[in-house]
Structure 1
């Protein structure tokens, strides 16, 4: 099994949308009506919305791939991109999702470690999980 973490680019937006919708539905689908869920997915994970987020210089997305297949993703924010004001020294993990077929393989830990490395590279003293 070969695992790779790669930055998401604007050219990856369709794949990011597919993985975002699938992982969100897996995680929260049972807690929402199908109409509410679809409305949220259409709004939060539209191509335009995701492109805006990908192109934000204060946000980063990373895919985790297993044998070249996208298994999940990570979204990080600093500065004004954070979902709550946590200060200039903080880095937010806004999203960390793994597709169901890839769970229980330590991939979430690898994405978390990517967040720690990014925080260190950016000289951030705080790392927090937006929920």
Structure 2
């Protein structure tokens, strides 16, 4: 494995974010969800308009993991009003840590998480928070290993299926 470089994304990286987002979401969740529901979610969540708006939001931060000239994952963080739920000015949300399946087990998720910690400290946030699907055991294990604790849950609807996301947070010192 060559070295992984993490770069802050800009509006010019829109297609990269779309490509990595769609690929990793499919790799992670397609076995557990109906094809039509997946298609509908991906079209809405990774549309050019939506991703473009998110990339241009000053309260959202995207970082892409690169292996040479190949994107292998990305991180999306939200502060202030960009947060999907809590809207707590003292918090930073990790909305996505996505790593291509071909690069699982290579510590790229950890590098992206470390970047989230760095941004949280730089922005002087009190804690990081996120929501993770209760059946995504690999992600739950990763976050618990990194010191996150559950503090609630919320519903994530995919197609006609209401799924439970566990809300987790980690206090920053």
TM over 0.5: yes
Flag the structure with larger Rg.
2
Alpha-carbon offset, residue 68 of structure 1: 2.6
Q: Which has the higher contact order (CA 8 A, sep 6+)?
A: 1
Structure 1 residue runs of 5 or longer lacking an equivalent are: none
Q: State the alpha-carbon separation in 2 of the partners of residues 87 and 10 from structure 1.
A: 26
Counterpart Cα distance in 2 of 1:11 and 1:87: 29
Output the TM-score relative to the length of structure 1.
0.96
Report what 2:37 is aligned to.
36
Between the two proteins, the alignment pairs up a number of residues equal to: 131
After TM superposition, the runs of 4+ consecutive aligned structure 1 residues lying more than 6 A away are: none
Aligned counterparts of 2:87 and 2:56: Cα–Cα separation in 1: 21
> What value does the CA root-mean-square deviation take over the aligned residues?
1.0
Provide structure 2 residue ranges, at least 5 long, that are not aligned to the other structure. 133-173
Give the C-alpha shift of residue 74 in structure 1: 0.3
Q: Choose between structure 1 and 2: higher strand proportion.
A: 2
Deviations 1:5-51 (A, max 9, x none): 01111111111111100000111111211111111100010011000
Report the counterpart of residue 69 of structure 2 in structure 1.
68
Matches within 5 A, 1:84-123: 84-123=85-124
| Cα displacement (A) at 1:67 | 2.2
* Bigger helix share: 1
